[in-house]
């Protein structure tokens, strides 16, 4: 799944907005109590078009997260602890064999869709067939082949090992065959009346607020939350105001100076938790453009970037956790995968070592200007969308850091669409960008250095390898990892990828991606936190349903 960002707003604007009356349509806790058992979720995503298609990332159901309380996965997996076994959900059992080329799923009995129709193995098989036959819905590009239902089981057969795709397959949501088989084009249908196995059904829809209500006949114990209202606020300022007023009780939004602006408004109830996941945000170069095709230069830059300043200033001390592991693999989620020779190795600011490394590779410092081996001054244009205030602050810090080794950097603020296009076509020198996440570091490393995803500068439609990095050894190691027959072979391939990351520095990991959220305990308790990490705290992820099922009315 692509790591999502909200457009972040400037601190001054946030503070100013909070001084005004709260945005939004009031709170269920106004006047005290929550007799209606309503949970108010908010996201800063602007007006929504009525689209409830759970497979489309552009739908309102995806944007606000309500698809995951209507539709349920086969297995509930925890991306905060990716090595933990999943919770049986619509599947009670899953058995892999033939080096992850075959999967047998045992489907839970007694589950009904919200229209009262029993869910069967036929529905599960049809869902996988839907993904196989419609590439636009199969956003993870899982190479489904043979899909066979029999009794209460579904057997999937693949041509190659699906070790690295386990999570993507097991967390598939199930749709009813009797409805979806009548849809003319499932890649564009807006699914006016969504029918799933989850505990909620769509009650009402407006561009600003979507409401789902509890249904009867749910296969698990009914949730204590009777109704969930999803409000889409126009921007971060309005969303933060809604959180501080209590109009919104759960969100995922960047809050500069979060203690003063949010937590301190009600320290007893206003909480946030932003755990790291196995994905990173970092500084990418177009490695096809000189001098950024020079690994020594990239290594030197890695040594001068102050990650503490980026975390504490740019990311407000909480949003994207600092990532200083030498391999780029975030801790603690990625700790089991770090090769023994790299455990405990962190990146520390060392300007003198960076200078020595550069001069040893033919670079020269002429006063305060670094000159490359070809005699050209080293400059770097750092591109960023004009509204992403945390990224802008991060890049201003990097700009100052680079000046210490004679690199003149500029921060180029641009329209978000233009920036997205420049990343897609490689029309950049340096950008902050993210990677995909997964149950192992494979997805992260694949995004950074998979030659099979390489496209030359100027060619768009890229999906990963934004830096246009080419390294046959890295590509081979990724293929070995994905198709290995045993853990030892995978560990060897992963160690090779870590060695290449350190020696070549094709991109510079700076922060771990997060799967966090802000929430209020005023009306509801049972939220995940550092002491109870049963799932990520973000309201738009699959685990949102698990969180709702954990919630209980506050005393």
Share of the chain above pLDDT 70, in %: 94
Residue 20 pLDDT more than 50? Answer: no
Q: Which CATH superfamily is domain 276-514 in?
A: Dipeptide-binding Protein; Domain 3 (3.10.105.10)
Residue 1: pLDDT band with limits 50, 70, 90: very low
> CATH 3.10.105.10 residue ranges in the chain?
276-514
pLDDT of 295 above 60: yes
Cα–Cα distance, 283 to 193 (Å, whole number): 43
The answer on pLDDT for 12 being more than 50 is no
User: How far apart (Å, rounded) are the C-alpha atoms in residues 354 and 359?
Assistant: 9
pLDDT class of 387 with cuts at 50, 70, 90: confident
DSSP tag of 84: S
Comparing CA positions, the residue from 6, 2, 3 lying closest to residue 390 is 6
What's the Rg (C-alpha) of the chain?
Answer: 24
Whether residue 15 is predicted with pLDDT greater than 60 in this model: the reply is no
- Residue 6: the pLDDT is 42
The pLDDT tens digits for 23-56 are 333 344 433 478 899 999 999 999 999 999 999 9
Q: Among 19-23, 370-374, 424-428, 485-489, name the one with the lowest average pLDDT.
A: 19-23
Say whether pLDDT at 440 is over 60: yes
**Parts of the chain belonging to CATH 3.90.76.10:** 71-181
168 burial level (CB within 10 Å; 0-12, 13-18, 19+): buried
Given this model, what pLDDT does residue 34 score?
84
Q: Tell me how far apart the alpha carbons of residues 58 and 139 are, in angstroms, rounded to a whole number.
A: 12
Give the C-alpha separation, 546 to 199, whole Å.
11
Query: What does pLDDT average to over the chain?
Result: 93
Read off the pLDDT of residues 445-481 as tens digits, 9 standing for 90 and up: 999 999 999 999 999 988 899 999 999 999 999 999 9
Q: Is the pLDDT reported for residue 118 higher than 50?
A: yes
Q: What is the pLDDT averaged over residues 69-98? A: 95
* Ramachandran sector of residue 376 (left: φ over 0; alpha: ψ -120 to 50; beta: rest): beta
- Rounded to an integer, what distance in angstroms lies between the CA atom of residue 534 and that of residue 80? 8
Tokens (6 digits) for 352: 């003198």
Instruction: Report which secondary-structure segment, H or E, holds 510.
Output: strand 507-514
Tell me which fold the domain 200-275+516-553 belongs to: D-Maltodextrin-Binding Protein; domain 2 (3.40.190)
Question: Is pLDDT of 19 > 90?
Answer: no
**pLDDT tens digit string along 169-188?**
999 999 999 999 999 999 99
Confidence band for 218, pLDDT divided at 50, 70 and 90: very high
pLDDT tens-digit series, residues 507-549: 999 999 999 999 999 999 999 999 999 999 999 999 999 999 9
Please determine, for residue 482, whether its predicted confidence score (pLDDT) is greater than 50: yes
Peptide bond into 291 cis (omega under 30): yes
DSSP H stretches of helix in 364-436: 389-403, 416-425
pLDDT in tens, 300-349: 999 999 999 999 999 999 999 999 999 999 988 899 999 999 999 999 99
pLDDT at 442 over 80: yes
Greatest pairwise CA separation for the chain in angstroms? 76
- Residue whose token pair is 């290995």: 484
Cα 88 to Cα 327: distance, rounded to the nearest angstrom: 33
Average pLDDT for 122-132: 98
Sheet holding 517-520, edge to edge: 200-205, 209-214, 227-232, 38-43, 250-251, 517-520, 270-273
Beta-sheet strands, E only, within 246-378: 250-251, 270-273, 276-285, 364-366, 369-371
Q: What is the pLDDT of residue 26?
A: 39
pLDDT band at 193 (very low <50, low <70, confident <90, very high): very high
Q: What is the mean pLDDT of residues 362-372?
A: 96
d(CA 101, CA 97): 6
Looking at the chain, the domain(s) classified CATH 3.40.190.10 span: 200-275+516-553
Give the single-character DSSP code of 101. T
Class of domain 71-181 as given by CATH: alpha beta
Q: Is 8's pLDDT higher than 90?
A: no
Q: What is the pLDDT of residue 271?
A: 98
Distance of CA 409 to the CA centre of its chain: 29
């Amino acid at each position: 799944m692509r790591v999502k960002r909200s457009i972040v707003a400037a601190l001054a604007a946030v503070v100013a907005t909070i001084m005004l009356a709260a945005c939004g349509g009031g709170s269920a806790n106004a006047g005290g109590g929550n007799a209606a058992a309503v949970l108010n979720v908010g996201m800063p995503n602007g007006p929504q078009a009525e689209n409830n298609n759970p497979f489309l990332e552009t739908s309102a159901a995806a944007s606000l997260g309500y698809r995951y309380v209507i539709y349920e996965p086969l297995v509930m997996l925890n991306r905060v602890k990716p090595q933990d076994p999943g919770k049986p959900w619509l599947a009670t059992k899953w058995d892999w064999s033939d080096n992850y080329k075959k999967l047998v799923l045992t489907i839970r009995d007694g589950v009904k869709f919200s229209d009262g129709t029993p869910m069967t193995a036929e529905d599960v098989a049809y869902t996988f067939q839907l993904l196989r036959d419609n590439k636009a819905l199969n956003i993870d590009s899982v190479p489904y082949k043979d899909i066979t239902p029999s009794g209460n089981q579904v057997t999937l057969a693949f041509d190659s090992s699906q070790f690295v795709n386990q999570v993507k397959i097991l967390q598939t949501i199930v749709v009813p065959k009797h409805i979806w088989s009548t849809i003319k084009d499932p890649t564009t249908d807006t699914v006016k009346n969504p029918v799933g196995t989850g505990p909620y059904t769509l009650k009402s829809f407006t561009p600003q607020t979507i409401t789902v209500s509890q249904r009867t006949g749910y296969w698990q114990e009914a949730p204590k939350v009777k109704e969930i209202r999803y409000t889409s606020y126009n921007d971060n300022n309005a969303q933060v105001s809604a959180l501080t007023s209590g109009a919104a009780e759960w969100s995922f939004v960047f809050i500069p100076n979060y203690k003063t602006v949010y937590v301190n408004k009600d320290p007893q109830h206003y909480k946030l938790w932003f755990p790291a996941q196995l994905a990173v945000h970092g500084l990418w170069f177009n490695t096809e453009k000189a001098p950024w095709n020079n690994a020594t230069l990239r290594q030197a830059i890695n040594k001068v970037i102050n990650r503490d300043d980026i975390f504490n200033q740019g990311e407000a001390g909480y949003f994207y956790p600092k990532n200083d592991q030498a391999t780029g693999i975030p801790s603690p989620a990625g700790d089991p995968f770090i090769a023994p020779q790299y455990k405990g190795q962190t990146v520390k600011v060392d300007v003198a070592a960076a200078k020595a490394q550069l001069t040893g590779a033919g670079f020269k410092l002429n006063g305060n200007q670094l000159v490359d081996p070809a005699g050209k001054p080293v400059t770097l244009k750092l591109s960023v969308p004009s509204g992403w205030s945390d990224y802008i602050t991060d890049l201003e810090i990097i700009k100052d850091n680079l000046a210490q080794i004679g690199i003149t950097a500029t921060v180029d603020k641009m329209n978000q669409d233009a920036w997205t296009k420049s990343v897609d076509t490689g029309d950049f020198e340096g950008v902050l960008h993210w990677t995909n996440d997964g149950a192992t570091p494979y997805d992260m490393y694949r995004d950074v250095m998979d030659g099979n995803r390489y496209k030359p500068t100027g060619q768009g439609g890229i999906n990963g390898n934004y830096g246009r990095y080419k390294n046959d050894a890295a590509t081979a190691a990724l293929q070995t990892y994905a198709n290995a027959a045993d853990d030892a072979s995978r560990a060897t391939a992963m160690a090779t990828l870590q060695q290449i990351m350190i020696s070549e520095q094709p991109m510079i990991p700076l922060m771990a991606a997060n799967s966090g959220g802000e929430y209020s305990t005023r009306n509801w308790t049972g939220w995940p936190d550092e002491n109870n990490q049963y799932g990520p705290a973000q309201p738009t992820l699959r685990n949102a349903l698990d969180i709702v099922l954990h919630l209980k009315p506050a005393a």
